Amino acid sequence: MEKSHLREITLGALLDEAVEKWPDNEAVVYVDRDFRLTYSEFGELVDELAMGLMALGIKKGEKVAIWATNVPYWVALQFATAKIGAILLTVNTFYRTTELEYLLKQSECENLVIIDGFRDIDYIHTTYDLIPELRTNERGYLQSEKFPDLKRVFFLGQEKHRGMYSMPEVINLAVVTSDEEYEERQATLDPHDVINMQYTSGTTGFPKGVQLTHYNIGNNGYWIGENQGFTSNDRLCLPVPLFHCFGCVLGVLAAINHGTTLVILEGFDPLLVMASVDQEKCTALYGVPTMFIAILDHKLFNKFDYSSLRTGIMAGSPCPVEVMKKVMDKMNMNDITICYGLTEASPVMTQTRMDDDIDRRTASVGRAMPEIEVALFNPETGNQCAVGDTGEICCRGYNVMKGYYKNPEATAANIDVDGWLHSGDLGVMDEQGYLAVTGRLKDMIIRGGENIYPREIEEFLYTMDGILDIQVAGVPSKKFGEQVGAFIILKDGVDMTPEDVVDYCRGKISRYKIPKFITFIEAYPMTASGKIQKYKLRELAEEMFPDA
């Protein structure tokens, strides 16, 4: 029987505990820029940032959107916002103009923190385009026509940009906030306050803001680390995005709960992952299956030492058996675990354990986390399923979100009257409680760990001249698990190529959402009642694109 360990504690208090217990242990390391902070130094940086944000007038309950890759200030901001009761709103680094505009409006966001850009996306240019008033309004007095709630924009670096506060300026303002004011603010916080908000694709419509509390993600982080045997002697290599729960909960909060060192990469680069593991003697490594495949297949793989590795997490999409065997054999990760969940569940509801055999680690996604109930329900009758029967995967416990931001209808649709959170995934459970995911009730596409909701792409492509109707479905892919497929019916007399569709999408929606497979058809497969059968479109895609 696993012990109970649910704690009524804020993330700020959790960090303070870690600083007190392991002051000289390294907390955050970046190999590529020789950036190193002990827990004591990291705690000081967090406090300076928090007091600087308070000095600028950020109140409890205000949203602070962070649109950035895994830069050094990211994790510090995660705790600085939590310490003053602000809500960290994580923004997907692949977002483009229309997606950022939607998120800022729907969340009624008061603060935006950005870096200069990512890949071919210029964040500064995008921000000035959306908020032209930044160039003319006095800082601290922003009045945006498009975003009436927005008060401040920050640049996550040293440089100065018109209308934005730089991080050194924020830190320098810490002296304006007294220790007493800072302590008073923290005394008003409750572990059940919302302090993290992530936008996720749901079963209908556009992305929804998932509201998560200290209690939700702090406790989930504890058990994720506990199930890997994390201690203050562990060093976790983290190349997954911090804007996902995979980074900021499975990674950061699992580590902070156990005094583990975070060796963070700004983005995934297989060579840098291998160098980081070797140089820092990492004991754990996280990634989606495609990341592990890229490492194992790298021509310089044998040049690095993986003997320090012990555990880690592979999640985001199903793990091929051969990949798992290679990770265990060639990378020494005998204690690697698999996690399953969704953002609304903070996010992990099941995890394999270190002593599970390879069949358990590939044929299942583990068993329920301590303190969380996981059950399967028949989608048609609503009755709980017997062992071995397929049903919708649901969970109940401390980890269930507070709800979707300003969307009570969607919240009620996902969390039933008995408190069960409905995942939309189908699964089967054995006698020992091990869960296997077998399919999906909803139309979600999962491409290399990124959730993509077809409706969003369909709504966008309806705006393209010449398209009469469009259906988007997942196409099975050996590399990514699934790719985006678009099935288009054209208006009479219209001539269009797949390249035309891709060109229309470019720069307007995230690259990973742009359809990879595009075909033009005359009609859709329908049920007798006139409902489009998306599973038949997926079958059609398998026939048309067998080498996906």
**For the residues 238-259, what does the mean pLDDT come to?**
97
Judging by DSSP bridges, how do beta strands 403-404 and 208-213 pair with one another?
A: antiparallel
Q: Among 129-143, 363-377, 403-417, 469-483, which stretch is predicted with the lowest mean pLDDT?
A: 469-483
**For the residues 512-524, what does the mean pLDDT come to?**
91
Identify the band that residue 158 occupies on the pLDDT scale cut at 50, 70 and 90: confident
Q: State residue 186's pLDDT score.
A: 98
**What does each C-alpha distance from 324 to 40, 308, 377, 479 come to in angstroms?**
37, 18, 30, 15
User: Going by C-beta distance under 8 Å and a sequence separation of 6 or more, which residues neighbour residue 489?
Assistant: 467, 468, 469, 470, 520, 521, 522, 523, 524
pLDDT at 497 over 70: yes
Q: How far apart are CA 8 and CA 5, in angstroms?
A: 10
Q: In 3-state terms, what secondary structure has residue 89?
A: strand
Q: Among 166-170, 236-240, 507-511, which stretch is predicted with the lowest mean pLDDT?
A: 507-511
Identify the band that residue 206 occupies on the pLDDT scale cut at 50, 70 and 90: confident
Question: Could you report the per-residue pLDDT of 412-449, keeping only the tens digit for each?
Answer: 999 999 999 999 888 999 999 999 987 777 677 888 88
Q: What integer best gives the mean pLDDT of the chain?
A: 93
For 495, counting Cβ atoms within 10 Å of its Cβ (0-12 exposed, 13-18 middle, 19+ buried), the class is: exposed
Identify the band that residue 540 occupies on the pLDDT scale cut at 50, 70 and 90: confident
pLDDT at 527 over 60: no
Q: Among 19-23, 24-28, 201-205, 257-261, which stretch is predicted with the lowest mean pLDDT?
A: 201-205
Identify the band that residue 1 occupies on the pLDDT scale cut at 50, 70 and 90: very low
- In a 13 Å sphere around the CA of 404, the CA atoms on its Cβ side amount to 23
pLDDT, greater one: 475 or 321: 475
Query: Do the Cβ atoms of 423 and 392 come closer than 8 Å?
Result: yes
pTM (2 d.p.): 0.85
Q: State residue 3's pLDDT score.
A: 57
pLDDT at 330 over 50: yes
User: Both tokens of residue 143?
Assistant: 């009045």
For 79, counting Cβ atoms within 10 Å of its Cβ (0-12 exposed, 13-18 middle, 19+ buried), the class is: buried
Q: State residue 109's pLDDT score.
A: 98
Residue length of the chain: 548
Q: State residue 529's pLDDT score.
A: 39
pLDDT at 249 over 90: yes
The three-point CA angle 491-496-501 to 5° equals 105
> Which domains, and CATH codes, for the chain?
11-253 (3.40.50.12780), 445-544 (3.30.300.30)
User: Both tokens of residue 211?
Assistant: 């509201």
Question: Could you report the per-residue pLDDT of 101-112, keeping only the tens digit for each?
Answer: 999 999 999 999
Q: State residue 208's pLDDT score.
A: 94
Q: In 3-state terms, what secondary structure has residue 99?
A: helix
Q: In 3-state terms, what secondary structure has residue 120?
A: coil
Identify the band that residue 469 occupies on the pLDDT scale cut at 50, 70 and 90: confident
Q: Among 7-21, 183-197, 349-363, which stretch is predicted with the lowest mean pLDDT?
A: 349-363
Residue 463: how many CB atoms within 10 A of its CB?
9
The three-point CA angle 59-63-69 to 5° equals 130
Q: In 3-state terms, what secondary structure has residue 318?
A: coil
User: Going by C-beta distance under 8 Å and a sequence separation of 6 or more, which residues neighbour residue 319?
Assistant: 289, 338, 361, 362
pLDDT at 536 over 50: yes
**What does each C-alpha distance from 539 to 455, 474, 485, 516 come to in angstroms?**
19, 10, 11, 16
Q: State residue 204's pLDDT score.
A: 45
Q: State residue 47's pLDDT score.
A: 98
pLDDT over 90, % of the chain: 78
Identify the band that residue 531 occupies on the pLDDT scale cut at 50, 70 and 90: low
**For the residues 60-83, what does the mean pLDDT come to?**
98
**What does each C-alpha distance from 533 to 184, 475, 537, 538 come to in angstroms?**
57, 14, 7, 9
Question: Could you report the per-residue pLDDT of 279-324, keeping only the tens digit for each?
Answer: 999 999 999 888 998 899 899 999 999 999 999 999 877 777 888 9
Q: How far apart are CA 3 and CA 372, in angstroms?
A: 13
